[in-house]
Structure 1
């Protein structure tokens, strides 16, 4: 999955940055006269500055501001987190790093959430002391829940360390510098090449200064709206870490017609009573592997979790 994300990221980035310039340089003839009026050309210039300004701010936010916010959030959990005892119910060694004598592992944990409902959750992290075998199945560890349910992360290990990867920070700084230099160079190069003392009147919507910026925004939205949702379902995680459980009656089960990577989306119509005794009817949609379609319950009851403040929001925590 990680390789595919990197591959498609590089592939889309190629179509956002060098490809529009290459097509323009090959297909467009160098114009020695103004292409637009002064007002239109400055409109295009302002539009391009807005686009590139948004792109630069977006990456600064994602690469730096969000990272610092997450670090501060972890520090806050260390100070104010709600302690829970978690039982290790699953252990998987993903990779051994001999240089650091460190294991990359995935463990399954079982512990009470903020509503004291016992939940199960898998997490992946580096074990810096594998010889201690702290994360063997059956062992118990301390975790801290984030009392601010609208803020990630939702929990941490009680002895979790907070720090920055110096090499990673250098790469991020280098990327932002490259992006700023690229955008500045884009304006400078084409202005010197095509202005002919007419200022910015060579700009059109399909000019690389504008069109590559538009393509980059599309690239950003694709990864933000599509890949982000595939990799993480924030709404369900919030319900998992703060919601209550209930037994729901299955009214109907059907396919919505939507597929993701050829995996169908299944819609459940459910009825249940919350802890106050109030009955609710709601709909829950879930992407299910075709290999597991036979195990999807069609009738009877199923265990769900629901948002106490908005019981219409539910999830089915057990996979199928």
Structure 2
């Protein structure tokens, strides 16, 4: 998974940075006269500055601001978190790291959420003291729930340590510096090469100053879509940690026709009563493995969780 992310990241990066410049230099002849009027050229210049300003702000926010906010949130949970006792119902060793004597493990925890609804949650992390066998199946550990459900993380281990990965932060600083240096160099090089005392009137939409920015924006949107839609479902996690449970009557179950990694998406239409006694009809879509398709219930009742402030938002916590 990590290799594929790096590969596609490098592949898309190639089409964002060197590719637009290479195509432009090979296909465009050096113009010694203005290509646009003064108004159009300054429109293109302003558009390019907006593009690159957004890109730089996006990476600074993603690489630094969000990290510092998450650290502050963890500190807040350590001080004001709601304690829960969690039972470890499954343990799996993913990798042993001899250099640091750490285990990369995946565990499944069972504990009451903010509404005292018993939930199960899977987490993956590095165990720095594997010899103590603290996370073996059947053991109990202390966790702290985040009382502010609008912020991540939604819970932490009670003895969790907070700190920055020094090498990771250095790499982020280097990347951000290279990005800013690339943008400044892009403007400086092409202005010196093509302005001919006419200012920015050499700019066109396909010019690398603009087109490289457009491709980088597409790169950002693609990665946001991939990580946001397929790797993490924030809305469902929010319902899991702060929602209430209910027994729902199945109205209908059907395939939507959408396949995710060749696995079908199933649409459930259910009716249920919330804790106030009000009845609701809601729809939930879930990707189901082909191997488990036969075990999907078609009628009867099913356990759901719902957002008490908006009962139309539901999830089915148990897998098939």
Report the TM range for the smaller structure's normalisation: over 0.9
Counterpart CA distance in 2 for 1:208 and 1:262 is 38
Counterpart CA distance in 2 for 1:291 and 1:181 is 50
| 1:160-208 CA-partner distances (Å, limit 9, x unpaired) | 0000011000000000000000001111111111111111111000000
Equivalent residues in 2 for 1:117-132, closer than 5 Å = 117-132=117-132
The reply on whether 1:210 has 2:210 as its aligned counterpart is yes
Aligned to 1:172: 172
Counterpart CA distance in 1 for 2:272 and 2:15 is 49
Following superposition, the deviation at residue 112 of structure 1 comes to 0.3
Counterpart CA distance in 1 for 2:217 and 2:261 is 24
| 1:227-285 CA-partner distances (Å, limit 9, x unpaired) | 32110000000010011111111111111122222222211000111122211111001
Counterpart CA distance in 2 for 1:169 and 1:226 is 23
Between 189-198 and 73-82, the greater mean CA deviation after superposition: 189-198
Counterpart CA distance in 2 for 1:36 and 1:142 is 66
Equivalent residues in 2 for 1:41-56, closer than 5 Å = 41-56=41-56
In the TM superposition, structure 1's runs of 4+ consecutive aligned residues that sit over 4 Å from their partners are none
The reply on whether 1:23 has 2:62 as its aligned counterpart is no
Counterpart CA distance in 2 for 1:242 and 1:181 is 44
Following superposition, the deviation at residue 318 of structure 1 comes to 0.6
| 1:102-150 CA-partner distances (Å, limit 9, x unpaired) | 1111111000000000000011111111111111111100000000001
Equivalent position SS for 2:257: strand
Aligned to 1:258: 258
The reply on whether 1:283 has 2:283 as its aligned counterpart is yes
| 1:51-90 CA-partner distances (Å, limit 9, x unpaired) | 0011001000000000000000000000000000000000
Unaligned runs of 5+ in 2: none
Following superposition, the deviation at residue 303 of structure 1 comes to 0.8
Equivalent residues in 2 for 1:1-320, closer than 5 Å = 1-320=1-320
Equivalent position SS for 2:310: coil
Equivalent position SS for 1:241: helix
Counterpart CA distance in 1 for 2:249 and 2:74 is 39
Counterpart CA distance in 2 for 1:202 and 1:211 is 14
Equivalent position SS for 2:64: helix
Between 202-211 and 262-271, the greater mean CA deviation after superposition: 262-271
Unaligned runs of 5+ in 1: none
Following superposition, the deviation at residue 2 of structure 1 comes to 2.5
Counterpart CA distance in 2 for 1:139 and 1:226 is 35
Counterpart CA distance in 2 for 1:174 and 1:304 is 46
Counterpart CA distance in 1 for 2:297 and 2:20 is 50
Following superposition, the deviation at residue 30 of structure 1 comes to 1.1
The number of aligned residues is: 320
Following superposition, the deviation at residue 295 of structure 1 comes to 1.7
Between 257-266 and 77-86, the greater mean CA deviation after superposition: 257-266
Counterpart CA distance in 2 for 1:133 and 1:260 is 37
Counterpart CA distance in 2 for 1:282 and 1:61 is 35
Following superposition, the deviation at residue 3 of structure 1 comes to 2.2
Equivalent position SS for 2:312: coil
